[in-house]
């Protein structure tokens, strides 16, 4: 049976950047407006005043310096604090499909393939724009792919979970060439008014071509040696937005209908889970963690990644071992580890071992071990 390889990746980066300084200035203007509007209730003790955010805190606590977004004027407007998008008609490509197609075209070009070579499309991300038809089917149609397509959501781990579905489909013969696409317009479900998390996310799309080694022609290929997925229920990262909200007569703008988390608990609980997960997968493959040249990890927090890799290799972690894209892109949910893989791999020689690993809401953790051919 043919080996399965990743033969190309693609990255779509949105046109607008928001620096921490811009973000904090608009957030603090929102806070001042809120506190002025609620001065009497704050004075009476019935409303808690809001506190300013700070660039220093964001950079120290997370490592994030900027993020890309699809639209920034709405986010930075202290009287709005979320992006301003135009509704599209049914015969236009939806926004999520549009950025997915952009990333897919780049991945196909890198793999030396066209849409016609693809017989499986998986749209794996943390926020889907609509219930149906699947965004993946819209993308399949837009790129002229055959076979089948479906959407899946495992939040930040959607990309690695999607890669495993692609690899399995190829191994069992139900597809020959699968595109895994991770379009993330996180700005639509980020809570820009919450000081604890307003700095966390950014928008982006990534795509990965997975195919049989005997059909792959690209100059750079990474054989998939194995993948391992795990989930463990937790409420520490949660968003209650959903199709039953209307019938529940709940407030569609209530705080629980956008992203929220217990960041510190997530940090503490997920670091050991992710490190043990990778260690056990490498062990099963007979690979020592120190033999791995690069760890392309989920990009949520700089110290988190350094701790995970330090637990594995027992030494201080350099960007050579665990590349960082979080400073520029922020947390792009499922796309983060794929952006790291996309931007930091060509320097490695043939035979190099690497791990793509994501972790996040669920909790969920997924890892894919690859070797350069």
Local structure of 330: helix, strand or coil: coil
Q: Which is nearer to ligand CO8, 122 or 156 (CB)?
A: 156
By CB under 6 A, residue 84 contacts ligand CO8: no
Beta carbon of residue 111, minimum distance to ligand CO8 (angstroms, whole number) = 28
By CB under 6 A, residue 300 contacts ligand CO8: yes
Q: Is 198 left (phi over 0), alpha (psi -120 to 50) or beta?
A: alpha
B/e letters for 49-88, b = 16+ CB within 10 Å, e = fewer, are: ebeebbbeebeebbbbbbbbbbbbebbbbbeebbbeeeee
Q: Is the dihedral of CA 13, 241, 232, 191 positive or negative?
A: positive
Q: Which is nearer to ligand CO8, 13 or 140 (CB)?
A: 13
Catalytic residue among 156, 177, 197, 357: 156
By CB under 6 A, residue 361 contacts ligand CO8: yes
How far does CA 242 lie from the centroid of its chain?
A: 20
Nearest to 338 by CA among 354, 361, 317: 354
Residue 156 annotated among the catalytic residues of the structure: yes
Q: Which is nearer to ligand CO8, 155 or 170 (CB)?
A: 155
By CB under 6 A, residue 261 contacts ligand CO8: yes
Stretch that binds ligand CO8, among 67-75, 204-212, 224-232, 259-267 (CB under 6 A): 259-267
Among 7, 9, 20, 62, binds ligand CO8 (CB under 6 A): 62
Alpha helix ranges (H) inside the chain: 20-37, 39-44, 55-62, 73-76, 95-111, 135-143, 158-171, 263-284, 302-313, 326-329, 336-343
Residue 185 vs residues 127, 202, 224, 289: alpha-carbon distances, Å: 7, 7, 28, 34
Among 192, 201, 295, 329, binds ligand CO8 (CB under 6 A): 201
Q: Which x/- pattern over 181-200 shows residues binding ligand CO8 (rule: CB under 6 A)?
A: -----x--xx----xx----
Nearest to 365 by CA among 179, 158, 183, 125: 158
Stretch that binds ligand CO8, among 72-80, 212-220, 257-265, 274-282 (CB under 6 A): 257-265
Beta carbon of residue 229, minimum distance to ligand CO8 (angstroms, whole number) = 15
Residues that contact ligand CO8, how many (by CB under 6 A): 30
Can you read off the two tokens belonging to residue 252?
């569609």
Residues 114-173 that bind ligand CO8 (CB under 6 A): 126-127, 155-156
The interaxial angle of helices 158-171 and 336-343, nearest 10 deg, is 70
Beta carbon of residue 271, minimum distance to ligand CO8 (angstroms, whole number) = 9
> Footprint of ligand CO8 on this chain (CB under 6 A)?
53-54, 57-58, 61-62, 126-127, 155-156, 186, 189-190, 195-196, 201, 237, 259, 261, 263-264, 266-267, 300-301, 304, 331, 333, 360-361
What residues are annotated to the active site? 156
């Amino acid at each position: 049976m043919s080996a399965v390889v990743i033969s190309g990746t693609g990255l779509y980066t949105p046109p607008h950047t928001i620096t921490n300084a811009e973000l904090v200035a608009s957030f603090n203007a929102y806070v001042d407006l809120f506190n002025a509007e609620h001065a009497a209730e704050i004075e009476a003790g019935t409303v808690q005043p809001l506190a300013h955010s700070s660039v220093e805190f964001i950079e120290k606590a997370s490592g994030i310096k900027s993020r890309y977004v699809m639209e920034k004027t709405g986010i930075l407007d202290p009287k709005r604090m979320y992006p301003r998008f135009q509704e599209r008609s049914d015969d236009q490509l939806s926004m999520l499909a549009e950025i997915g197609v952009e990333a897919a075209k780049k991945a196909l070009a890198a793999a030396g393939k066209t849409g016609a070579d693809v017989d499986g499309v998986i749209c794996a991300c943390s926020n889907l724009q609509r219930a149906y038809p699947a965004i993946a089917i819209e993308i399949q149609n837009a790129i002229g792919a055959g076979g089948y397509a479906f959407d899946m959501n495992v939040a930040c781990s959607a990309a690695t979970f999607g890669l495993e579905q692609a690899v399995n489909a190829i191994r069992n013969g139900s597809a020959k060439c699968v595109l895994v696409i991770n379009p993330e317009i996180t700005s639509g479900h980020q809570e820009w008014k919450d000081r604890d998390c307003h700095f966390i996310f950014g928008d982006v799309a990534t795509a990965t071509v997975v195919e049989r080694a005997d059909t792959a022609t690209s100059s750079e290929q990474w054989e998939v040696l194995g993948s391992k997925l795990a989930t463990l229920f937790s409420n520490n990262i949660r968003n209650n937005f959903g199709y039953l909200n209307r019938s529940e007569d709940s407030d569609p703008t209530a705080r629980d209908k956008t992203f929220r988390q217990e960041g510190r608990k997530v940090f503490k609980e997920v670091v050991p889970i992710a490190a043990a997960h990778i260690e056990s997968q490498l062990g099963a493959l007979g690979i020592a963690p120190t033999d791995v040249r690069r760890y392309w990890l989920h990009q949520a927090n700089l110290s988190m990644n350094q701790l995970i890799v330090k637990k594995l290799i027992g030494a201080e972690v350099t960007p050579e071992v665990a590349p960082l894209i979080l400073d520029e892109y922020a947390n792009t949910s499922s796309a983060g580890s794929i952006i790291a893989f996309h931007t930091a791999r060509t320097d490695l020689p043939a035979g190099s071992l690497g791990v793509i690993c994501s972790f996040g809401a669920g909790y969920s953790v997924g890892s894919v071990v690859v070797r350069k051919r």
